[in-house]
Amino acid sequence: AQSVTQPDIHITVSEGASLELRCNYSYGATPYLFWYVQSPGQGLQLLLKYFSGDTLVQGIKGFEAEFKRSQSSFNLRKPSVHWSDAAEYFCAVGAGETSGSRLTFGEGTQLTVNP
């Protein structure tokens, strides 16, 4: 079965600083990888996804992520963080089953942005 690990429960950065959120996955075949963001009390919004092809994926709100098969990682990055980026971020891996795909989520990383 697939699994996702987000090693950092909470990260604090200053506004304007760069950001990297870590995600490691475990899955035997080629994974389908996603990053979602959740504002307090809200649903999840898709930031970006990786299915195949170029390993550097661009998403919304200036985010990007890089798939590294050798490290089983899919880290999320942003060059300059804005105060509005404060939220919880979830990495997820999709895997096929006979009855269809299933998403497995990491436990999330809470991002705090200091002014």
Partner 1 sequence: DGGITQSPKYLFRKEGQNVTLSCEQNLNHDAMYWYRQDPGQGLRLIYYSQIVNDFQKGDIAEGYSVSREKKESFPLTVTSAQKNPTAFYLCASSPGLGLTDTQYFGPGTRLTVL
Interface residues with partner 1 (CB under 8 A) are 4, 9, 32, 34, 36, 41-46, 49, 51, 90, 94-96, 99-103, 105-108
Any bridge partners for residue 19, and if so which?
A: 78
- If residue 6 lies in a helix (H) or strand (E), which one and from where to where? none
Minimum distance of partner 1 from residue 94's CB (angstroms) = 6
When the beta carbons of 49 and 77 are compared against partner 1, the nearer one is 49
| DSSP class per residue in 42-57 | S-EEEEEEE-SS-SEE
Amino acid sitting at position 30: T
Minimum distance of partner 1 from residue 15's CB (angstroms) = 25
When the beta carbons of 66 and 88 are compared against partner 1, the nearer one is 88
When the beta carbons of 19 and 103 are compared against partner 1, the nearer one is 103
For 68: left if phi > 0, alpha if psi spans -120 to 50, otherwise beta; the answer is: beta
Minimum distance of partner 1 from residue 33's CB (angstroms) = 11
